[in-house]
Amino acid sequence: MLEASLSGVLKTVLIVLLVYFGLKILLRFFGPLLLKYFIKKMGKKFESQFNQQFGGQQQTRKQEKGKVTIDKKPKSGKGSNKNVGEYIDYEEID
């Protein structure tokens, strides 16, 4: 039967600790750079999905330089309803 020697166990524990602390230090320095890269990549992905879903309306309306266009707001059929009831002023009683 094989027995673990004390020096072999200590080497293994030291290697594991060295790898753990080494990765911890590397992630402290390179973690923000990796995070920024992935956030930028996901932002581009969301932007492309948005443009596909809504047809990229902002990009299709390229105006010529010097040309002025006025987009009018569509009239909404919903007006304010004046017959909503009367206003009652009240005071709180302690």
Using one digit for the tens of pLDDT, what is the confidence trace for 10-49? Answer: 999 999 999 999 999 999 999 999 999 999 999 999 999 9
pTM over 0.85: no
Using one digit for the tens of pLDDT, what is the confidence trace for 49-75? Answer: 988 888 765 544 566 788 888 878 877
Q: How far is CA 66 from the centre of its chain?
A: 36
Query: Distance between CA atoms of 34 and 38, rounded to whole angstroms?
Result: 6
